Amino acid sequence: FLEAASRIEADAGRPDSAFRLQASAIRLLQGFDSGTRHDAATLRLIDMAHAPEAQAEAQTLRAVFLHIVNRPTESLAAVEQGERFAVLIHDDAVMARLLNMRGIVLRRLGRVGEARVAHERGIEIERRLGLQADLAASLNNLALALMELDEHAPAVPTFEESARLQHDLPTRARVLNNMSISLEETGGAMAALKTRQNALALLVGQEGVAAIRLNITHSLGANARQLLRFDEALRWLDQADEMSREVHHWRAEDLVLQRALLLTELGQWSAADDLLSRVEGEAQPLDALRMGRLLARARYKLRRRIDAGDVLAEAARILPTIDERRTTRRLHSLQLTALAPQAALELARREIALEAARGNEGSQIAFLVGAANASLQLGCIAEAQAFSERATAMLDRVWPVEFSPFDALLTHLEVLQATHHPDRSQAAGEVATKLLRIAADQVPEPYRGGFLRGHPTHRTILRLAGMERLLPGA
Q: Is residue 296 part of a domain?
A: yes
Q: Select from 72, 134, 127 the least CA-distant residue to 98.
A: 134
Length of the chain: 474
pLDDT, residue 34, reads: 65
Q: Is residue 299 part of a domain?
A: yes
Q: Is residue 277 part of a domain?
A: yes
Find out whether 383 and 376 touch, Cβ atoms under 8 Å. no
pLDDT, residue 260, reads: 98
Q: Is residue 285 part of a domain?
A: yes
End-to-end CA distance of the chain: 65
Q: Is residue 307 part of a domain?
A: yes
Phi, psi of 193 (to 5 degrees): -60, -45
Find out whether 114 and 142 touch, Cβ atoms under 8 Å. no
Find out whether 339 and 348 touch, Cβ atoms under 8 Å. no
Q: What is the 3-state secondary structure (H, E, C) of the chain?
A: CHHHHHHHHHHCCCHHHHHHHHHHHHHHHCCCCCCHHHHHHHHHHHHHCCCHHHHHHHHHHHHHHHHHCCCHHHHHHHHHHHHHHHHHHCCHHHHHHHHHHHHHHHHHCCCHHHHHHHHHHHHHHHHHHCCHHHHHHHHHHHHHHHHHCCCHHHHHHHHHHHHHHCCCHHHHHHHHHHHHHHHHHCCCHHHHHHHHHHHHHHCCCCCCCHHHHHHHHHHHHHHHHHCCCHHHHHHHHHHHHHHHCCCCCCCHHHHHHHHHHHHHHCCCHHHHHHHHHHHHCCCCCCHHHHHHHHHHHHHHHHHCCCCCHHHHHHHHHHHHHCCCHHHHHHHHHHHHHHCCHHHHHHHHHHHHHHHHHCCCHHHHHHHHHHHHHHHHHCCCHHHHHHHHHHHHHHHCCCCCCCCCHHHHHHHHHHHHHHCCCCCHHHHHHHHHHHHHHHHHHHCCHHHHHHHHHHCHHHHHHHHHCCCHHHCCCC
Q: Is residue 372 part of a domain?
A: no
pLDDT, residue 469, reads: 72
Domain count, the chain: 1
Q: Up-side HSE of residue 167: CA atoms within 13 Å toward CB? A: 4
Q: Is residue 91 part of a domain?
A: no
pLDDT, residue 49, reads: 79
Find out whether 160 and 182 touch, Cβ atoms under 8 Å. no
**Mean pLDDT per 10-residue interval, the chain, length 474 residues:** 76 78 78 74 79 81 84 89 85 92 92 95 96 92 92 92 93 95 95 97 92 94 98 97 80 91 98 97 88 97 96 96 86 95 98 94 97 98 98 97 97 97 96 97 96 96 87 57
Find out whether 109 and 63 touch, Cβ atoms under 8 Å. no
Q: Is residue 270 part of a domain?
A: yes
**Domain encompassing residue 295:** 250-323
pTM equals: 0.79
* Residue 120: exposure state from Cβ atoms within 10 A (0-12, 13-18, ≥19): middle
